[in-house]
Structure 1
Amino acid sequence: MNTKEGLLFSDALLKEIKSRFHYVDHDMNGRERLFFDNAGGSFRLKSAVDQFARIDALPDCPERIHELAIFLQDVQARGTEDLRTILNAKGGSVYASLTASGGMFDMVRAIAEHIPGTNIVTTVLEHPSSFDAMTLYAERTGKALRVAKSNPVTGGIDVQDIVSLVDADTAVLSVIYASNISGAKLDIQEVVRQARAIKPDLYIVVDAVQHAPHGLIDLQATPVDGINIAPYKFFGCRGSGMSWLSERASVLPHHKLAGKKKDFWDLGSAAPWQFAVVSEIVNYVCWLGSQSVTPNDRRALFASGIHSIELHERALLSRMLNGSASTPGLRQMKNVKVFLDYEDLTKRDLILAIGIENLEHAQAVREYERRGVIVYERVATSLYSKRMLHSFGLEGAVRVSPLHCHSVADIDKFLQITHEISRAFNSTEVGGVR
């Protein structure tokens, strides 16, 4: 089967998928809309929101011996194992924090402050939570910060541009799994292989927040020392970040209560709902996986589910770019520019950066909203965008990020609205400018 252009869910399955999420086709006020800003969050699973409320409503402390305390301990244990299921992680420690950004700062600090070396390496496409953490601890420890440049053709970072900065004196390498502007996926497996060929005991940290909902992560194939995800970008709830640390990274000095084990990272009382939400995410993806494979172990079902998400999203990406006989794609629209448009869709997650001639990006976002579409402007005046955009030679873009819950009809509606906006602001009747 040729899946380079993706493979759509059946209509019946997509209908069932949509029914499991809140607000896919309408906002909270009942108004029809297309929510294409899932890179800034994601649709919420109804079951995840329900479990959040159910578990957090309990007054019981899990550090007790009575029945409901033991129930909460089991919730945490299942959620811990389910994070390992997402990552295919063996051993090490799971760390629940308020945000994925907080988890990243903590992991970078522990490694940078306690692993000898003269330099640390990262990339220009990192989220500020990892780039700023690396910058801060490079300054505090007197290490040189080395930054790999982006590739404006692929929208990502070439492996060689990363590993060429690694040497025997590199203390830590921090890389993002996929760009949150272009959707380009980095070849993490090859980065790890080549970097460790240069320095076998190199510590490597990965920001998987953007990529986790869109493709499979396998720490057995990419053995790193720290990795984080954000459940709110993965069909879950805000107020939680989940990280995993390798056995050697987990015992590095870090903030913890003196009486806890050396590899324990949580501070204060746990919030069991964080773990319950992770389990609901895994339950859902495993349910998707069961549509195409015979039930086996939980990781196999999860891998099957994520693969089906990846293929459906790739088909949606192809439709947005190439359109159909009845609906022109973004590539065919005269006054629309697809930035960082790399042909090989197997190397991209479902994120697009576009521009419309004669229309400033923030204004374009408002024009989309007027027509019932939510997208997001990435502009160089934003601390979350400037460094990445400038690395590509851009001052801004409109970021478009649907999710696997969307249908071909949703994509076609977006394309028709984009065509309408581009014509409205590039009409010859008004001299090309409105």
Structure 2
Amino acid sequence: MITPELLTTIRSKFAHVDACPFQGPRVFFENAGGALTLKAAVETSARFAAIPDNQGRDNPAAHALMDIIADAKAAAMEWFNAPGGQVFVGESGTELLFRLIRTAVAGTSGGVLLGSTVEHPASRSAMGHWADKFSRDYRLVPHDDTLGLVTAEAYAAAVTPDTKVATILHTSPVTGMGMDLAAISAAIRAVAPECFIIVDGIQHASHGLVDLTAADVDGYVVSPYKVFSRHGYGVAWVSDRLTSLGPEQLAGGPDAAWEFGTRDTGAYATFHDVVDYFDWLGGQVGSADTRRGRIEDAGAAIKAHERTLCDAMIGGIGNLKGLADYDGVTIIGGADNPAREGLVCFYANGHTSADIVAALNAEGVRTHVRKADHYSGNILTPLGQEAAVRVSMCHYNSMAEVTRFLSVIAEVM
């Protein structure tokens, strides 16, 4: 449980938690666009940016850098609860999804490529691009507009024995709903056991737990700037069987290498900071005696705290009405949806979403407009909406901040 006292300590670990360096004091409810950054990650970035040495040399600095990378990879493997395979960094989460999907599609022939309509274009565009280049049959599983997610049953109805590559979105950055990853993966493998399954975990990563042993997939990608680190890199886990397809590699280089060129040691080190933070938080809320156990305890506490915040935003606090209490307000995915992960997306009759976001911002409450464009049109267009207001929270947000949001909404509505 995250107590008020613990929340104060949590907030002290993040940069710009209650004030924007450009705007001044503000409530940060734009976490789906990029979470707050750990102060430790900021300090680590600066420290490693100053080191001139490269990895792979025979000198003390290079040896130290290689040890730091190896230690960070080991920590990340525990955070993912990965059953073998390897972790590596790339340009961004989107770049890594394109690369993993390209490797899977190019390494298989014939058959079906399977995705879903709920997916972010990071995976959906990659599948579409390579399906076109290799003349492959790309099919989309329809998501449930009412629930804001795609179910395992929908995948089960669509998967065929010749499905070669499948993609899954773990959590939608528009609806805020988490998919039942293990159940969807099991539904695919029940029919196509050798299918390569690649997951976009970018939105999910900050909101609870990643368990790749339970998921039984071949690739999982996160964007560290959405899970308390910084911009400029992505992190991927890949299974050995995906690596065996032969990703692009330097001629004469290591057979199982996914990385190109000299990587930023600071990227690995700042992701280690993220794992260390989950480890620390788990120690505050639980009693596990292993790092993975503490990570699991942290995930449970994060999920519970964010559920409390979402319930208050939707149902109200004291004499302040919640979003569900206003006539003409529609909450995407429904007001009572157990799949919700720290995010409430809504639209209101008689008020444009842009006007609502502007009014909130004028009062120091940072939210975001999602438009029916190439990022969010797959969710909003079927609902007949041009835009919606996305309010995205993380576990360092407080009930006082939700109260502030609802007080401004009361004036707007």
The 10-residue stretch of structure 1 (269-278 or 331-340) with the greater mean CA deviation from structure 2: 331-340
Percent identity of equivalent pairs:
31
- Matching of residues 23-422 of structure 1 within 5 Å: 23-29=16-22, 31-345=24-338, 347-380=339-372, 382-422=373-413
Give the match for residue 4 of structure 1: none
Gaps of 5+ in 1: 1-6, 423-434
2-structure distance, mates of 1:218, 1:224: 10
Q: Normalising by structure 2, what TM-score? A: 0.97
RMSD over aligned Cα, in angstroms? Answer: 1.4
2:25 aligns to what SS in structure 1? coil
Residue pairs, 1:4-23, within 5 angstroms: 9-23=2-16
What is the DSSP-based 3-state SS (H/G/I as helix, E as strand, rest coil) of the residue aligned with 2:198?
strand
Structure 2 Cα separation of the partners of residues 101 and 143 of structure 1:
21
Distance across 1 between alignment mates of 2:253 and 2:411: 60
Give the C-alpha shift of residue 19 in structure 1.
0.5
Q: 1:118–1:142: 8 Å Cα contact kept in structure 2?
A: no
Aligned residue-pair number? 413
Distance 1:183 1:136 in 2: 26
CA apart distance, 1:342:
4.8
Matches of 1:125 and 1:156 in 2, distance apart? 6
Task: Tell me if structure 2 keeps the 8 A contact 1:150–1:391.
Answer: no
Q: CA deviation at 1:23?
A: 1.0
1:181/1:399 contact within 8 Å kept: yes
Matches of 2:292 and 2:334 in 1, distance apart? 33
3-state SS of 2:317 partner? coil
Q: Counterparts of 2:163 and 2:286 in 1: how far apart (Å)?
A: 43
CA distance in structure 2 between the aligned counterparts of 1:393 and 1:131, rounded to whole angstroms: 21
2:366 counterpart letter in structure 1? I
1:302 deviates by: 1.0
Deviation by residue 1:246-290 (Cα, 9 ceiling, x = unmatched)? 001012122211222222100001110110011100111111100
Residue by residue over 1:44-67, the C-alpha shift from the partner in whole angstroms, topping out at 9 and shown as x without a partner, is 100011101111210011111211
How far does residue 152 in structure 1 lie from its aligned partner after superposition?
A: 1.7
d(CA) in 1 for partners of 2:266, 2:383: 40
Contact 1:124 1:391 in 2 (8 A): no
Q: Deviations over 1:70-115 (max 9, x none)?
A: 1111111111112212210132122210101000000001111111
- CA separation of 1:111 and 1:172: change in aligned 2, threshold 3 A: same
C-alpha displacement of 1:335: 4.6
1:399 aligned counterpart, secondary structure: strand
- Distance in 2 of aligned mates of 1:199 and 1:119: 10
Stretch deviating more after TM superposition (309-318 or 159-168): 159-168
Cα distance change, pair 166–117 in 1 and its aligned pair in 2 (3 A): farther
Distance 1:76 1:307 in 2: 28
Question: What SS class does the counterpart of residue 193 from structure 1 fall into?
Answer: helix
Give the drift of 1:30: 6.9
> What is the alpha-carbon distance in structure 1 between the residues aligned to residue 266 and residue 353 of structure 2?
38
* Aligned mates of 2:42, 2:12 — CA distance in 1: 14
Shift of 1:209: 0.3
Q: Shift of residue 394 of structure 1?
A: 3.0
Indicate the SS of the match to 2:237: strand
Q: Does the aligned pair in 2 maintain the 1:316–1:411 contact within 8 Å?
A: yes
Give TM-score scaled by structure 1 length: 0.92
- 1:203–1:225 contact (8 Å) kept in structure 2: yes
